[in-house]
Structures are given as structure tokens and as C-alpha cells.
Amino acid sequence: MTDFKFRYNKTKKITGFSFKPQTVSYVKKELKDQRLENSLLRKQISWSKNQNIPVSDFQQFIALPKAIVDSDGLPYKGDKSKTLKIFRSRYPDSFTNILTETPQCVVIDGMFFLHTKPLLSSHKTFTDYIIYLYKKCILPYFDNNNTVEVHLVFDDQSPPLSPKDIERNRRDLKNENTSGVSFTKSSKLPSDWLKFLTNRNNKKQLVLLISEQFLLLSQNAIKLNQTFVVGGGFDNSSLSKCVVQNEIRIIKNFQTNISEGDSRVWLHTEKTLCDTVLIYSPDNDTYNIGLPFIQTLDKQVFVQLTFKKDVIYLNMNKLIHSMKNDPDLQCLSNDNHDNIPSIFQMLYIVTGCDYVSFFRDHGKTSFYQIFFKYPDFITSNNIVKGWLGILSDSDNTENAGFLAFLRLVGCEYWRKCSSAFLKDRIESPHYLFQSVFVETLSPLENHFIWLSKIRDALYCRVPSEEFFLPSNDALFLHWKRSCWVKLVWQQANQNFVHYPILNDHGWKIEKNVLSIVWDSDENLEKISNNIKLWTAGCGCLKSNCSGNQCGCRKQRKLCGPGCKCGQSCLNSNGPTMLPSGDANIQQPNEKSQVEHLYDSESDTDTDSDNMTFNDFFLEFENLGINLVELDESDLQTVITDFNTHV
């Protein structure tokens, strides 16, 4: 019996108070970006106030689109498992805790059971561990008389250059460096199994050993009418071998150049002659890859998943049927109804996966909710209203799908700033689109104007650029990367996959190293010029910039906002100091006069140069003196010394 007293268990973490650890370098980069942004914004505000010139356009001060990039320059990572929760709550009839039909064929993504830890008390060698895995993961399916085929597939352990390498490198950085070891089936097992698997060479050797030994074990374990197939677990990853009538053979029907196991399972599902197929793959990518294939398959397909530590089965056929009969999607045209599975696949890709970055502060749940709220506006061809493009269109030559993607992103960011348009009685994003639509402009131009309205309204409603809507060019590059993934996934049921050129889809390869192109060179140069405008300049604190000691005069340039010179500067020309190509600041009307409000400090004496209090404060800030932290006596001393030297 319990005494109802709370006892703290030191070995158990309280998840309610847990947080995601961040490295010192990561925090430093975040703070550096925030300080730079705050500093430049303050300078912009101060300049606008002193020159009496209102700011007409919002500038970007961080080089990368921080909404989709983290501080390490890597794609922003989110939670893709939210998709399963969305489907489970919206289409509950598609899920079951008990498999209602016995599968004739089972296709297993073998990369997942590699993390099954050996029992060190009874497993001494790799042979012991492999036999244990075979009895636990393979043999139970063969013991069922209705199951005639079991397929085991693995990732390519020496894949060609791929966008997945960026995600692999991220995972490797989180793990401790473990040296590779050579081992055979009779070698002793390592004491730390998960640490052993962090080395990719160790994992490759293990996959090769398991594939070979599983084939040998199946020769004596399965019946004559049963078949065991292994794909991707060999030095030549395109090979597939099988055990048929106690003989090991090479089977050409399943040979492929697919490098990922979550895609390869669909080739085996397509090629098998069985009518009922069970796919074991806890990865959320797997069932999203197969969405467009179910309509053409004359089979019942189930996917075994894990939800809150419980085993559940997703009936893919029922899921497609539920999607097409979704009440919120009935507004789509009949032509679009056949594309609904493909639309959902693209929706999953563009909102974040292993190849494409997520959007900061905009997870899959909110994206899916906004899609169900405005499906007709987001993915339909309404030529009259200018709503062109379907989200599933991945052909970059037409850019029709890109327009649908812009509407999806615009609607999602609209949620953060919708109150800004209430004064104009605009209550939805498509009403805003109609209000700015111009028939003489191209569809792309109309979409850019619509997004600019959302950007302007969003600017004062987000804390920093991390939550700001990326530029149009950054969104287009994100869309191209998503199209690459879509084009590869739609070939997952084919033996030969044509991989599009990476350099044409938002990546670049230099010296066999793959990197992401986050924004256009034009935008990056514009941001660099914005930073230089407010930081670079002369340091003439005491002179009036009349001599050659002024750095700006040496370069035959006028002094600008980044200069430290005061109002006595003779190298400035008022509002025209800004670059001619920069339209961020409006030119004031020369005849207009500004009505000065009463200032309690305006009656105090100023220095001989008639410096305003704001200029006076900025001069000390440039000298590294914080007036706020000084007491009254020290403050008087500093001011006296400053006036003496000036």
C-alpha cells in the first residue's frame, strides 16, 4: 500500500521541465544576429528621427532567410511526426490497432530494427545477435501460413551525392565520434551498441553481415512455397537476392538505383504479386511517399507505424478514400479530386521533411489547418480571379505550382497579421488578393504584390527576422528543392529512378561538396548593402569632414547613416546622402514644415554646435560610454570633459 507521499526519483527526468539543450556556439550565433538586427534598427530609427525622413520600406539585416535556416546555416528542423497525428484525428477510420487482414506479403524497412539492442547477458557474438534478430523480426511472419513473402530492404550504405547528406551530417555532428572497427560474425559484440552504430562504416558492415546471414538462415527456416527477399544490403546496393525453394538467387525484378529504404519499400509493394501487403516502416516519409501510388495499385496496403508508443496500422486504401471524401475538400473541381493524394504529398514536402527545411514558428499542424480552411484558394485554377496553379504541379517550367505554394505560405503567415487588415474590412487572405489584383499584371506579379502586403503587416508583429516571411527568391528556391523531392518520390515504384540535376533545384555542388542556395545573389547583395549603409562610414568624431582625413571624402562619397560625424559635417547633402538605388527612405517635401512638440529638455543649454539631446547621447554611445549607468557626479564630469575637447 502507498502512503500517498511524493518521492523524487533521481534517476527519472521530469519531462514537464525538460528543454532542448543548445550548444554555446549556437546561442552565441543567435545572440549575435539579434544584436546586429537591434543595433541596425536603432540606427535606422535614429537617422529617420534626426533627418525627419520617414521610413517607407522595411530592410532586412540578416543575410540568410532565418525563417527556414538555423544559426549554423542548416535547414530549420521541425517535427514531421505531426502529420500522423493530423491524419489520425481527421481520418480515424483509416487507423486500427489490430490488423484485420493477414498480409500475404510483408515489406520491412530494415534500417529500424538495427537499433534493437542486443542482450549482453545472452548475446556474446554477432552471430548470437543476428539469430536473435531473425527470430524476432523475420521468422514470426513465416510462421503464419498465409504469408508467402517477406521482403527486407536497406538504405544504400554508400549513396551518391544527395541532399540527404546535409541531414546525415547534422545527425553525425550530434553524435560522439566513434572509430570504425572491422568485425566478423564470430566477433564479440560492442558494449555500447548505439554508440557503435553512430559510425557509418560500422553500420555498413553490419547491414552486409545481416543480409548475408539472413539469407543463409532462411534456406533452412522457410517453407518451399515461401520466399525471402533482401534488397539494398549488398556491396552493389542495386542488387536484390532471394531465397526460393531453399536456394539463394539474384532476382532482377527488384533491382533498382533507389538509395532510400523508405522509397524502396514501394518498389517491392508494386512488383509483388500478392494482393495484401503490410509495410513495416515507422518513418513518416514512407506513407507520404506512397500516397499517389495507391490509386493505381489493385492491392490492399497497410503501413505499420508507432503512435505514442503504441503499434497502429494505417490502411492506405481507406486513407485515400477518406481524403477524397473530405467535406472541406469538396469545393475542389473534379479534376483536382484525382490529384488530392499528390497534393497531400506535396503539402508534406513543402512544409518540411529530411530534404527541405521547415518554417520557424509555423509547424505542420498550422499549415494543414490553413490548407483545410482555404483549399479552393490555395490549390485551384481560377483564371478569372487569378488563382492559378495546383500544389501538386512540380514542373518548374510553368511555375504554376509555385503560385499555389505562394498562396499556401501567404495564408499561413496571414494568421499572424490578419488583425492589421480589419480596418479595411478584409477578413480573409483571398479577399486581400482580390483587393490588390490587377488584370494587366502577370499572375506572378499579382502574387508578389499580395505577399508584400502581408510582409508589411507582419513586420511589426514578429519579434525578429527569424519569424519574418522569406523573400520571394528564397521561397522560389525552397519550392525548387521541394520539386526535386517530389520528382524523385513519384518514381519510387520504378526500377530506375532519374534524379534531377541538383544545381537546377536550389543546391550547388563545388568540389564534390553539396550546399544549399538560400537566396538569390541580388538579394544577398542588397542585404549586404543595407548593413554597410548603417555600419560603414567615417569615424570623424571631432572634425567636420572637410579634410582628406574623412574616409568618405577620400572615397569621393558623401557621409551616410553609418558615419560617426555629427550635424557639423560638411560632406553631407541632406536626404540625398542615401544611395540613389535605395528606395527605403522617402524624400520629404521641401516646403513642408515640421511642428515640434514641447520637450522638457529643449530649454536646457546646448553646446556651440547646437547638438540635440539625441545627437549628444549618440556621441557618447559611439565613444563606448553608457550614460545610463553613470551616477550624477560622474555624468557631470564626463559632460564637462567632452565640452572642453569639442
Predicted confidence at residue 157, as pLDDT, reads 85
Q: Which residue has the higher pLDDT, 349 or 513?
A: 349
Predicted confidence at residue 111, as pLDDT, reads 92
Q: Among 160-164, 253-257, 477-481, 557-561, whose mean pLDDT is lowest?
A: 557-561
CB 47 within 8 Å of CB 561? yes
Helices of type H across 6-161: 24-51, 82-90, 126-133, 139-142
CB 163 within 8 Å of CB 513? no
Predicted confidence at residue 624, as pLDDT, reads 54
Cα separation, 390 vs 298, in Å, equals 27
Q: What percent of the chain has pLDDT over 70?
A: 76
For residue 102 the three cell numbers come to 493477414
Closest CA to 444 of 421, 422, 472: 472
Find residue 513's DSSP bridge partners. 510
Q: Is the pLDDT of residue 402 over 70?
A: yes
Instruction: Kindly tell me the burial class for residue 97, based on how many C-beta atoms sit within 10 Å of its own C-beta (0-12, 13-18, 19 or more).
Output: exposed
Over residues 439-472, the pLDDT tens digits come to 899 999 999 999 999 988 887 777 777 788 899 9
Helices of type H across 52-100: 82-90
Predicted confidence at residue 179, as pLDDT, reads 78
CB 622 within 8 Å of CB 541? yes
Contacts of 306 by beta carbon, 8 Å cutoff, 6+ apart: 282, 312
Q: Is the pLDDT of residue 573 over 70?
A: no
Mean pLDDT of 571-594: 41
Quick one: pLDDT band at residue 57, thresholds 50, 70, 90?
A: low
Predicted confidence at residue 46, as pLDDT, reads 65
Find residue 278's DSSP bridge partners. 106, 302
Predicted confidence at residue 585, as pLDDT, reads 32
Q: Packing angle between helix 364-373 and helix 82-90, nearest 10 degrees? A: 40
Q: Is the pLDDT of residue 416 over 50?
A: yes
Contacts of 207 by beta carbon, 8 Å cutoff, 6+ apart: 110, 114, 154, 157, 233
Over residues 419-430, the pLDDT tens digits come to 889 888 999 999
Q: Is the pLDDT of residue 643 over 70?
A: no
CB 567 within 8 Å of CB 611? yes
Q: Is the pLDDT of residue 614 over 90?
A: no
Q: What are phi and psi of 95, to 5 degrees?
A: -120, 145
Alpha-carbon distance values, 60 to 36, 52, 268, 412, 461 (Å) = 11, 22, 49, 21, 15
How many H helices and E strands in the chain? 22, 11
Q: Among 77-86, 194-203, 212-221, 544-553, whose mean pLDDT is lowest?
A: 544-553
Q: Is 245 left (phi over 0), alpha (psi -120 to 50) or beta?
A: left
For residue 134 the three cell numbers come to 531473425
User: Integer distance in angstroms from the first to the last C-alpha of the chain?
Assistant: 83
In the three-class reduction of DSSP (H, G, I as helix; E, B as strand; rest coil), residue 437 is classed as coil
Geometric angle at alpha carbon 574, from 571 and 576, rounded to 5°? 95
Cα 216 → chain centroid: 43
CB 261 within 8 Å of CB 154? yes
Q: Is 243 left (phi over 0), alpha (psi -120 to 50) or beta?
A: beta
Closest CA to 153 of 110, 215, 106, 113: 110
Cα separation, 395 vs 390, in Å, equals 11
In the three-class reduction of DSSP (H, G, I as helix; E, B as strand; rest coil), residue 523 is classed as helix
Mean pLDDT of 431-441: 92
DSSP per residue, 573-618: -GGGGS-TT--SBPPPPTT--PPPPP-TTTTS---TT---HHHHHH
Mean pLDDT of 276-302: 95
For residue 187 the three cell numbers come to 566477433
Quick one: pLDDT band at residue 277, thresholds 50, 70, 90?
A: very high
Quick one: pLDDT band at residue 414, thresholds 50, 70, 90?
A: very high
For residue 495 the three cell numbers come to 526500377
Q: Is the pLDDT of residue 574 over 60?
A: no
Helices of type H across 52-145: 82-90, 126-133, 139-142
Predicted confidence at residue 543, as pLDDT, reads 79
Q: What are phi and psi of 513, to 5 degrees?
A: -115, 125
Cα separation, 144 vs 399, in Å, equals 50
Mean pLDDT of the chain: 81
CB 399 within 8 Å of CB 483? no
DSSP per residue, 257-269: ----HHHHHHHHH
Residue showing cell 553525425: 172
Amino acid in position 410 = G
Predicted confidence at residue 13, as pLDDT, reads 41
Mean pLDDT of 160-187: 82
Q: Packing angle between helix 521-535 and helix 472-489, nearest 10 degrees? A: 150
Q: Is 52 left (phi over 0), alpha (psi -120 to 50) or beta?
A: left
Closest CA to 452 of 436, 466, 467, 438: 436
Cα separation, 286 vs 303, in Å, equals 8
The model's pTM is 0.78
Over residues 342-389, the pLDDT tens digits come to 999 999 999 999 899 999 989 999 999 999 999 999 988 776 666 788
Residue showing cell 527488384: 254
CB 254 within 8 Å of CB 238? no
Helices of type H across 232-296: 261-271, 284-289
Closest CA to 282 of 309, 256, 306: 306
Predicted confidence at residue 468, as pLDDT, reads 84
Predicted confidence at residue 11, as pLDDT, reads 42
For residue 284 the three cell numbers come to 513518416
Mean pLDDT of 89-102: 92
Closest CA to 340 of 105, 348, 275: 348
Strands 149-153 and 276-280: unpaired
Over residues 628-639, the pLDDT tens digits come to 455 555 555 555
Alpha-carbon distance values, 120 to 125, 188, 209 (Å) = 9, 10, 19
Alpha-carbon distance values, 534 to 44, 468, 559, 573 (Å) = 7, 21, 11, 17
Mean pLDDT of 560-586: 57
Strands 240-244 and 227-231: antiparallel
Residue showing cell 504541379: 393
Q: What percent of the chain has pLDDT over 90?
A: 48
For residue 413 the three cell numbers come to 503567415
